[in-house]
């Protein structure tokens, strides 16, 4: 696949995964793709923990309510540090967003599926803090997202997108 094909093939996958393990070499490629993302003023505020140990995965899955990614053989936990970059502005959200997209595209390129789960784990019940405790994340890091990784049991549902002319223009708004 070329980059454009991968971008157009990537869709959020919320289904079940096959029990097939994700090889460490593939997890390394996915993490390296996240690390290759741009970051504001090169502060590199985004870090990752790949979890493929079944006991640790089970502990994480037990604190996620309502349940998600129950059958995923691996999960990537995305961490951020809120570090000011330029004129006292923090670009952590932009940094981890770019890293996540790089990883999602790499996941699809390698034949796996995933979904960007952020709001579900950072909501009022603070599942992210429970995950941080399980993974011994230091207090100056924040868990912001999880990405299940695995071979999909079925094809992802392709959402209906607005037509080009409703979202993109040339030279001015609604050009």
32 part of a folded domain: yes
Q: How many domains does the chain have?
A: 1
pLDDT digits (tens, 9 = 90+) for 128-169: 999 999 999 999 999 999 999 999 999 888 999 999 999 999
Range of the domain at 58: 3-167
**CB–CB of 78/48 below 8 Å?**
yes
Say what the pTM is. 0.94
pLDDT at 175: 63
pLDDT mean across residues, the chain? 95
154 part of a folded domain: yes
CA 101 to CA 95: how far, in whole Å? Answer: 10
pLDDT digits (tens, 9 = 90+) for 24-33: 999 999 999 9
Handedness of CA 17, 18, 22, 26 (dihedral sign): negative
Interval 99-112 mean pLDDT: 98
37 part of a folded domain: yes
pLDDT digits (tens, 9 = 90+) for 71-89: 999 999 999 999 998 888 9
Residue 84's nearest CA partner among 36, 140, 35, 41 is: 41
63 part of a folded domain: yes
CATH number, domain of 68, equals 3.40.109.10
21 part of a folded domain: yes
175 part of a folded domain: no
172 part of a folded domain: no
113 part of a folded domain: yes
pLDDT at 157: 85
């Amino acid at each position: 696949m070329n980059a454009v094909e991968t971008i157009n093939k990537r869709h959020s996958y919320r289904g079940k995964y096959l029990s097939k393990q994700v090889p460490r070499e593939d997890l390394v490629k996915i993490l390296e793709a996240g690390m290759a993302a741009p970051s504001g003023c090169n502060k590199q505020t985004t870090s990752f923990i790949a979890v493929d140990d079944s006991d640790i995965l089970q502990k994480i899955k037990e604190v996620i309510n309502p349940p998600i990614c129950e059958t995923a053989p691996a999960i990537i936990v995305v961490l951020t540090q809120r570090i000011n970059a330029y004129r006292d502005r923090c670009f952590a959200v932009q940094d981890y967003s770019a890293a996540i997209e790089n990883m999602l595209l790499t996941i699809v390129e390698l034949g796996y599926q995933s979904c960007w789960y952020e709001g579900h784990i950072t909501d009022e019940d603070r599942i992210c803090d429970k995950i941080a405790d399980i993974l011994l994340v230091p207090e100056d890091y924040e868990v912001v997202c999880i990405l299940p990784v695995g071979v999909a049991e079925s094809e992802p549902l392709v959402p209906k997108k607005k037509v080009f002319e409703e979202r993109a223009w040339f030279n001015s708004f609604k050009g």
